[in-house]
């Protein structure tokens, strides 16, 4: 049996964590693989809007979009992490999603609503974005479960004690 390449080894667990349907995965995987390459390790995969999929690798941010009627998949954004600027995101635990904003290399400001299945997935994406855009060299570790941070009230009690 032939060993899986890095993309396949990391893409399959990321799709399971993202809870994307098989049809969505089948339509988007070709474009995502071409952008990441065989050696690109997928850190996070998430539904982005109604017909878009966001993929964050160790070095790239890719967003694919499919058309309404024929469901043809096209590339919306394919940029290396150092090519995007002014990256901001706001986790919204009540809605289990993240509002993501960034400026692409061409100067266009992009805004995405990344909806996730649970708050645990939201915190995992938040952690991956921190690693990508707030650490030197944009080093991202492969997908792994992230524990939810303690509530603010619990932190306040610890400081007062």
pLDDT digits (tens, 9 = 90+) for 32-61: 988 888 777 888 898 888 889 999 988 889
Q: Confirm whether 67 is domain-assigned.
A: yes
Q: Confirm whether 40 is domain-assigned.
A: yes
What pLDDT, on the 0 to 100 scale, is given for residue 120?
A: 87
With both helix axes pointing from N to C terminus, report the angle between 6-18 and 22-36 in degrees, rounded to the nearest 10: 140
Interatomic CA distance for residues 141 and 68, integer angstroms: 34
Q: Confirm whether 1 is domain-assigned.
A: no
| CATH number, position 139 | 2.30.29.30
* Residue-wise pLDDT tens digits, 93-130: 888 899 999 998 888 999 999 988 888 888 989 999 99
* Segments forming the whole domain that contains residue 140: 6-160
Domain count, the chain: 1
Q: Confirm whether 49 is domain-assigned.
A: yes
DSSP 3-state of 113: strand
Q: Confirm whether 94 is domain-assigned.
A: yes
């Amino acid at each position: 049996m032939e060993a899986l390449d890095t993309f396949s080894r990391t893409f399959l667990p990321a799709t399971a964590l993202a809870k994307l349907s098989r049809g969505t995965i089948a339509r988007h995987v070709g474009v995502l693989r071409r952008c990441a390459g065989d050696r690109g390790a997928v850190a996070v995969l998430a539904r982005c809007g109604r017909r878009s999929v966001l993929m964050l690798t160790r070095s790239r941010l890719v967003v694919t979009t499919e058309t309404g009627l024929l469901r043809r998949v096209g590339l919306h954004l394919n940029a290396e992490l150092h090519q995007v600027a002014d990256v901001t995101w706001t986790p919204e635990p009540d809605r289990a999603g993240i509002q993501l904003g960034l400026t692409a290399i061409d100067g266009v400001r992009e805004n995405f609503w990344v909806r996730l299945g649970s708050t645990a997935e939201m915190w995992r994406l938040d952690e991956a974005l921190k690693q990508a855009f707030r650490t030197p060299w944009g080093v991202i570790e492969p997908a792994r479960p992230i524990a939810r941070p303690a509530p603010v009230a619990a932190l306040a009690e610890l400081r007062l004690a």
